[in-house]
């Protein structure tokens, strides 16, 4: 067979094949190394023969060769570089010979057609996410003579023997009782995983450990677990409920990011902090209970929730409260409302509505802002498309950037204060907004101002106000 035109070999290293026009390629004898990106993006390549004598496969060497279905790696190869077969989603099988000592980071990432992996006893180093992003992987076997890794008890996983850390799992993994930790990205992208039992000896779950496991519907985390890493369960869209064990002291950033199927969560009294975007896009959550142990809740921790109807804070919490059964999270010292829901009643003691407090609360149809409130934060009512009208009392002196962004159902706003700073983007994309009613002094200030992406008419309060009342706007 002819080689692809433009084959470039330098010092026995295959550097480039130029334009890949062949479905089958034979690499000539004498080549000892396949260079970085040598076949990168060669999507028409279906098979390749690598000759004996090649000792290394470079970074991204066969990246995005989506047509490649099989490849035989000769026993002379000792290292497979980072992302060497990245995105080869047509690859169904791979034989790693007993000469390979290292497999680089992301080496087989996105090889979604792979069904099995056999790790020989020669492999002593496996990089991060070497086999992540696999939908079909069902079998993982490690040679019994491997000094660094094992797959004890036919568990269908790769375990770091010395530390008892599970570093790679698959949809058929059974975690042995001897495992002490689940490593970073161990099951990341394993969409075929529907259930998993974490044994009582596991103390930590690493970052991104189960992220993108969209088939996972429930998981029981044992009391032995004291640490859950960032994004550990992010984008597990099938997950409906989870109980966090009593030993966990912090819920890290984005741990449950975009778990849209999650309807309930139990936060134990051991948790002291909830990280940024911890429950971001958990649109199915209906209730939140904050125990007295929680003293730090990061910005946007519960952002984007459509179904949230109940917020309760323990009466003994020293930092936050939900006074008067208001269904809101309030920072006690500052009287700032930092999280609301569709059933929130803002207490008269609240002085400010925080940034993104009601963001994406599409179930909110009405809200009364009391005279105690002096400021409405940025993005406070973002995309609250169920709101049709709102009265902002004369106590309010500032309305933040994009405070009512995307409130597409809002038709009228009444602002009663005489000294109010209103961001020009405050009503951005309020597509149905017809009237903004302002006090007489405020009208003089803003009558010639055009609010960005808002075509509402600015009208002074007074005689017009009486007319508007009569036809039932407020």
In this predicted structure, what is the pLDDT of residue 305?
76
Cα-based distances in Å from 301 to 171, 280, 329, 440: 30, 6, 12, 40
What does each C-alpha distance from 355 to 298, 331, 341, 375, 469 come to in angstroms? 12, 13, 14, 10, 31
- The model carries a pTM of 0.86
In whole angstroms, how far apart are CA 77 and each of 80, 101, 103, 126? 8, 9, 11, 15
The stretch 395-404 carries a mean pLDDT of: 96
Contact call for residues 327 and 341 (beta carbons, < 8 A) = yes
Residue 466: predicted pLDDT: 45
* Domain 1-137: assigned CATH number: 3.80.10.10
Count of C-beta atoms within a 10 Å radius of residue 435: 17
Residue 169 has pLDDT above 50, yes or no: yes
pLDDT tens-digit readout, 293-351: 999 999 789 877 778 999 999 999 999 999 999 999 999 999 999 999 999 999 999 99
Q: Is residue 463 scored above 70 in pLDDT?
A: no
The answer for residues whose C-beta is within 8 angstroms of residue 430's C-beta and 6 or more apart is: 404, 405, 406, 407, 408, 410, 453, 454, 456
Q: Among all chains, which residue has been given the structure tokens 């999280």?
A: 339
Confidence of residue 6 (pLDDT cuts 50, 70, 90): low
Nearest partner of 140 among 130, 129, 127, 150, judged by Cα: 150
| Token pair of 373 as six digits | 């409130």
What percent of the chain shows pLDDT beyond 90?
72
Residue 124, pLDDT > 60, answer yes
Three-state DSSP state, 303: coil
Residue 18: its pLDDT value, please?
66
Alpha carbon distance 378, 401 (integer Å): 5
Length of the chain: 474
- Structure confidence at residue 34 (pLDDT): 95
- Tokens coding 152: 């004890």
User: What's the token pair of residue 347?
Assistant: 């207490």
* pLDDT for the residue 4: 42
Contact 76/52 with Cβ under 8 angstroms?
yes
Collapsing DSSP states into helix, strand and coil, what is residue 301? Answer: coil
């Amino acid at each position: 067979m002819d080689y692809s035109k433009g084959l470039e070999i330098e010092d026995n290293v295959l550097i480039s094949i130029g334009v890949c026009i062949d479905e089958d390629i034979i690499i000539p004898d004498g080549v000892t190394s396949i260079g970085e990106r040598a076949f990168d993006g060669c999507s028409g390549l279906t098979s390749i023969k690598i000759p004996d004598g090649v000792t290394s496969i470079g970074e991204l060497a066969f990246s995005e060769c989506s047509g490649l279905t099989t490849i035989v790696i000769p026993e002379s190869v000792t290292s497979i570089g980072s992302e060497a077969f990245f995105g080869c989603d047509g690859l169904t099988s791979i034989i790693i010979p007993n000469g390979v000592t290292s497999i680089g980071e992301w080496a087989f990432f996105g090889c979604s057609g792979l069904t099995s992996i056999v790790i020989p006893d020669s492999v002593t180093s496996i990089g991060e996410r070497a086999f992540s992003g696999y939908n079909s992987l069902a079998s993982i076997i490690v040679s019994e003579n491997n000094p660094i890794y094992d797959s004890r008890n036919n568990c269908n996983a790769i375990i770091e023997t010395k530390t008892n850390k599970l570093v790679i799992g698959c949809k058929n993994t059974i975690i042995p009782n001897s495992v002490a930790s689940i490593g970073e990205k161990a099951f990341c992208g394993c969409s075929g995983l529907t259930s998993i039992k974490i044994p009582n000896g596991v103390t930590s779950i690493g970052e991104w450990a189960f992220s993108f496991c969209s088939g996972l519907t429930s998981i029981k985390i044992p009391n032995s677990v004291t640490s859950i890493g960032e994004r550990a369960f992010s984008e597990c869209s099938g997950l409906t409920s989870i109980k966090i064990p009593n030993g966990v002291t912090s819920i890290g950033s984005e741990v449950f990011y975009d778990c849209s199927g999650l309807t309930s969560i139990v936060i134990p009294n051991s948790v002291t902090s909830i990280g940024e975007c911890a429950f971001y896009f958990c649109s199915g959550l209906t209730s939140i209970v904050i125990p007295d142990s929680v003293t730090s809740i990061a910005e946007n921790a519960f952002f984007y929730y459509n179904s949230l109807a109940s917020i309760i804070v323990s009466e003994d919490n020293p930092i936050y409260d939900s006074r008067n059964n208001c269904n809101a999270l309030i920072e006690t010292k500052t009287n700032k409302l930092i999280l609301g829901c569709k059933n929130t009643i803002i207490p008269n003691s609240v002085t400010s509505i925080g940034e993104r407090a009601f963001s994406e609360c599409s179930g909110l149809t009405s809200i009364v802002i009391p005279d105690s409130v002096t400021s409405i934060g940025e993005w406070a009512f973002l995309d609250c498309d169920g709101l049709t009208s709102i009265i902002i009392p004369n106590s309010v002196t500032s309305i933040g950037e994009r405070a009512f962004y995307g409130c597409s159902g809002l038709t009228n706003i009444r602002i009663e204060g005489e000294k109010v700073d209103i961001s020009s983007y405050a009503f951005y994309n309020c597509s149905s907004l017809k009237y903004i009613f302002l006090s007489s002094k405020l009208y003089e200030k803003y009558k010639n101002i055009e609010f960005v992406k808002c075509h509402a008419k600015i009208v002074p309060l007074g005689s017009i106000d009486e007319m508007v009342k009569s036809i039932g706007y407020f």
